[in-house]
Structure 1
Amino acid sequence: MMRSMYAGVSGLKAHQTKMDVIGNNISNVNTVGYKGSRVTFKEMLSQTLKGASSPQNGRGGTNPQQVGLGVALGSIDTSMEQGNLQSTGKMTDVSIQGEGFFMVNDGKQNVYTRAGSLSFDEDGFLVNSSNGYRIQGWKAAEDGTISKTNAENIEDITLDETMDASATTNINYTGNLNAAAENTLTASPSKIQIEDGTSGATDNVSVSLNKTENFNQWKFSLSAENSSSNITNGTGYITLDEAGKILGINTAKDGSGTDLTIAGNEPTIDIGGTGDTVALDLPSVSDSLSSTPLFKGAEAAGETVEGDYTLNAKRTITTDVYDSQGTLHTIDLTAKKVGDNTWEIENNDVDVSDATMSTASWLSNSPHTINFDADGNVVGGGTVDLTFDPNGGAADGQAVALDFSNFTQFAGDMTADFDTSDGYGQGDLKSFTIDGSGAITGSYDNGYNKTLAKIGIASFSNPAGMSREGDTLFSVSNNSGDPQIGLAGTGGRGMIAPGTLEMSNVDLAQQFTEMITAQRGFQSNSKIISTSDEMLQTLVNLKR
């Protein structure tokens, strides 16, 4: 009878412990990152009254006779099931979707938590807002790279409040240079009066210019108003370079004809067929139409035909560059079409603001030629170095590699322009974001973003075996296994969900049900004790 009383006592103790666990679960139903617990019971050692016997001599065997001594606490298990995610919209709130724990350091050792309510302290460290423990991860280098993400390199996370200036070293260009782009040449005026100095006869001569299929070449034609006038060498071809300088004036499209600038081959006009001729002077090779008339009547007072040349086949591109101190400079360069499938950038077509040439030329080779194939792709001159000395205290001899290899040349819009470049000025941190891999990216007021750090995640082979440390913290135990540290989304570790918090995984319906069974179990065990007491009272009363 005493056995039953003590069995009831063990039952009371066991159910009291279960009620303690249930109460703790319910009290933490709204605790961020809380993991609920459950209690299991086990039977205590039984007292054997009679052992089992085996069959013999035609008689069957008998089972053992044992009396149980009550119930004992079997285990208190932690449920590591995922809790629901609550959206907060706060960038420093993070949760883990899947396996793993955030690592925080209390100043002596690392402990682990699923609570991701984070903030920055006075010293700029990313900490758990409930206890101030520093979040562990990996800081990025100045260029935003993180080379090693292992346990040996884990450290406190801080964000760089400023970004140092970086000099520009590479500029990439893209877009189209119009293959059909043409320059224009017009005669002004298109008609002049020619006078014979001997007879005094005059005639009006019209000048027409027509573009040929060759680049920067025009056919000129002279026609007299008087039908009796005769014109010799009245047609020919004028070829110019991109700057409007004469490359040739001759009688053949390919430049192999008679050079009309040689004395005796100029256009001549026999006014009215009298036999007296008037020669028209032409510019010479290398003369510029900006300073030399296209035609000039040798015996006509001041009668000239100017060649109005306009450079249309060009593209001017402006690009910003930074020197070593972060000072902004502007590169202006102009690419000019100099032939079919050929464009050039000359030294005098380049300028860098607030800087001087560090050598005799801005460009490492000037003029720099960009060649295209028949399909419109760059086949030569894809890159060139530009070197300049910034004014002020920045480093001289700054070299910038200009990359034109992504240019195209098709008949269409002139879209060639700056694409990307490195280098930037000094900047102050404005905001930051956290992505699913735990990468923290800072946004600076100089317009650039940079990876600043990555949050580390630890996983365990038996997370339920970790020891609770309070404040939703866990530590390594003998049965949890060692932490496996790495990036979110790798090695079975879950992804990080920014702007959310993981809610408690306590199921209230289940807890209330367990509370009912605990209460009934406690009541039942108390009945064992009271009934056993009554039976003992009966024995005591036998003496009466």
Structure 2
Amino acid sequence: MGILGSMFTGVSGLATNGLALSIIGDNIANTNTSGFKGSRAVFADVLSQASTGGSAMQIGRGSQMLGVQQLFTQGTFETTANPLDMGIDGDGFFVIKEYQGGTFYTRAGQYLLNKEGFMVSPQGLRLQGYLYNDAGNPTGAIGDINVATVNSNPNSTDTMNIQVNLDSRSTVPTAAWSVSPTTGAAPGSYNFQTNITIYDSLGNAHPVGVYFRRTSTPGQWEARIVADTGLSGSPNYVEVGGSPITVTFDTSGQLTSPLTATPISFPWVAGWGAVTPQSVNIFFGYAGNNSTQYGSPSTTIFQTQDGWTSGSLRALTVGQDGILSGVFTNGQVKNIAQVTIAKFTNPAGLTKMGRNMFAESSDSGQPAVGSPGTSGRGKILANSLEMSNI
């Protein structure tokens, strides 16, 4: 090898190491880039030359860069205040898609809602996931996650449970039972009253009064159900159910009847537009948690009913399984979608597209898309961002 060859050998070293410095500089520049994966240069020597003959006299011809290797080690996580920020704890990539365009993959989990209700990356690409129907059940289809039309439909009350303690020291009211059709009041004709709100098929709220009246029979009470069955502004309070419910207790103050549901029919006026009559099962407690008759002041211990009015979306949450749930103004929570994760046999073979995105290539293999936490895919960390792994 002559002087000129020696110069080219040295220049090759400067050139390859210059490329390596560019890679290092790119890594340093992206230290604070969410989801960034660092790279490293892969070097090799250049085919050697024998000055005379035989391996003992082989002289190197310099260095070359074989390629750039992507490093997909896990980065650390940073907690954020955005409920739509997500990190993948483990293998896999978020799937994002251009509108009527290509599909890309990223570890960056910064997402927000655009004006059309789509969950999008900062670049405006739409996050992909399993879609759910109005009932909050998965459809099996994968598509753009959108919350613009999501709401919580009303649900009519089917069951109400009222658990009370009725004062065993109470006396039989002297006034005969009577309820005012305009106010729902029953002065002097009951011992204890509790109120509960139920909902019809359209989500209209109907306050219901439950009046307990002591009878002359020891341990026996009458429960009378009163509701306003008229239109708004035109009250018509009536006792529903036809006849009072007989409620009895033993000498230990424990409920002996009724121990099962008592169906009550609510005859809403047709002007409400809801299903009428509406049948509701009323319980006075469940096994082990029944109403009681003790020698202490009458009180409502517990009450619940299973209906609700309509609601609009108030907040969003994301679980470790990637399920995006909506919290609604009516207090209900419903599943909206499930974020999907793509896993590759050779993630180092993905093509870098810039803007924290990768594209599938022949070297990476095809993506295996599925639910977080399944088949080796990582879990979702909500309110978190994966930082650079540099």
TM range (shorter): 0.7 to 0.9
* Residue 402, structure 1, aligned to residue 282, structure 2: yes
Q: How does 1:469-480 map to 2 (within 5 A)?
A: 469-480=353-364
- Whether the aligned pair in 1 keeps the contact of 2:156 and 2:203 (CA below 8 Å) is no
Q: CA deviation at 1:35?
A: 0.9
CA gap of 1:355–1:389, structure 2 versus 1, over 3 A, is farther
1:421 counterpart letter in structure 2: Q
* Residue 385, structure 1, aligned to residue 263, structure 2: yes
Match of 1:126 in 2: 119
- Whether the aligned pair in 1 keeps the contact of 2:255 and 2:292 (CA below 8 Å) is yes
Q: How does 1:217-296 map to 2 (within 5 A)?
A: none
Q: How does 1:68-147 map to 2 (within 5 A)?
A: 68-106=60-98, 107-129=100-122, 131-143=123-135, 145-147=136-138
Q: CA deviation at 1:443?
A: 3.3
Which one of 362, 366, 370 corresponds to residue 240 of structure 2?
362
Distance 1:243 1:433 in 2: 53
* Residue 183, structure 1, aligned to residue 170, structure 2: yes
Q: How does 1:519-530 map to 2 (within 5 A)?
A: none
Instruction: Report Cα offsets for 1:298-319 as digits up to 9, x if no partner.
Output: xxxxxxxxxxxx877x543311
- Whether the aligned pair in 2 keeps the contact of 1:378 and 1:405 (CA below 8 Å) is no
Q: CA deviation at 1:104?
A: 0.7
SS where residue 42 of structure 2 aligns? strand
Match of 2:182 in 1: none
- Whether the aligned pair in 1 keeps the contact of 2:134 and 2:150 (CA below 8 Å) is no
1:110 counterpart letter in structure 2: T
TM-score, normalised to structure 2, is 0.78
Alignment RMSD: 3.5
SS where residue 154 of structure 1 aligns? strand
- Whether the aligned pair in 2 keeps the contact of 1:320 and 1:329 (CA below 8 Å) is yes
Residue correspondences, number? 363
- Whether the aligned pair in 1 keeps the contact of 2:152 and 2:312 (CA below 8 Å) is no
Q: CA deviation at 1:115?
A: 1.5
Q: CA deviation at 1:4?
A: 4.0
Distance 2:96 2:174 in 1: 73
Distance 1:82 1:135 in 2: 21
SS where residue 17 of structure 1 aligns? helix
2:114 counterpart letter in structure 1: D
Instruction: Report Cα offsets for 1:197-223 as digits up to 9, x if no partner.
Output: xxxxxxxxxxxxxxxxxxxxxxxxxxx
1:400 counterpart letter in structure 2: V
1:37 counterpart letter in structure 2: S
Match of 1:424 in 2: 308
- Whether the aligned pair in 1 keeps the contact of 2:118 and 2:148 (CA below 8 Å) is no
1:384 counterpart letter in structure 2: T
Percent identical among aligned pairs is 31
Q: Which residues of structure 1 form unaligned runs of 5+?
A: 52-62, 185-241, 246-287, 291-309, 507-544
Distance 1:404 1:155 in 2: 47
Distance 2:339 2:62 in 1: 50
Distance 1:387 1:122 in 2: 45
2:265 counterpart letter in structure 1: T
CA gap of 1:433–1:101, structure 2 versus 1, over 3 A, is same
TM-score, normalised to structure 1, is 0.58
Distance 1:467 1:289 in 2: 81
Q: CA deviation at 1:342?
A: 5.5
* Residue 445, structure 1, aligned to residue 323, structure 2: no
Match of 2:146 in 1: 158
Q: CA deviation at 1:444?
A: 3.1
- Whether the aligned pair in 1 keeps the contact of 2:199 and 2:309 (CA below 8 Å) is yes
Is the radius of gyration larger for structure 1 or structure 2? 1
- Whether the aligned pair in 2 keeps the contact of 1:112 and 1:473 (CA below 8 Å) is yes
- Whether the aligned pair in 1 keeps the contact of 2:206 and 2:228 (CA below 8 Å) is yes
Match of 1:13 in 2: 15
Match of 1:197 in 2: none
Q: CA deviation at 1:153?
A: 1.7
Distance 2:374 2:222 in 1: 51
Q: CA deviation at 1:119?
A: 1.8
Q: CA deviation at 1:128?
A: 0.5
Q: Which residues of structure 2 form unaligned runs of 5+?
A: 179-187, 232-237
* Residue 468, structure 1, aligned to residue 352, structure 2: yes
Match of 2:194 in 1: 317
SS where residue 284 of structure 2 aligns? strand
* Residue 30, structure 1, aligned to residue 47, structure 2: no
CA gap of 1:138–1:172, structure 2 versus 1, over 3 A, is farther
Instruction: Report Cα offsets for 1:325-346 as digits up to 9, x if no partner.
Output: 222111222345655665543x
Distance 1:399 1:77 in 2: 68
Distance 2:177 2:108 in 1: 79
Distance 2:370 2:243 in 1: 52
Q: Which moved more, 1:33-42 or 1:471-480?
A: 471-480
Q: CA deviation at 1:491?
A: 3.9
Distance 2:81 2:163 in 1: 40
1:477 counterpart letter in structure 2: S
Distance 2:371 2:361 in 1: 23
SS where residue 390 of structure 1 aligns? coil
1:352 counterpart letter in structure 2: A
Q: CA deviation at 1:126?
A: 0.9
- Whether the aligned pair in 1 keeps the contact of 2:48 and 2:58 (CA below 8 Å) is yes
Q: How does 1:474-489 map to 2 (within 5 A)?
A: 474-489=358-373
* Residue 327, structure 1, aligned to residue 204, structure 2: yes
- Whether the aligned pair in 2 keeps the contact of 1:315 and 1:416 (CA below 8 Å) is no
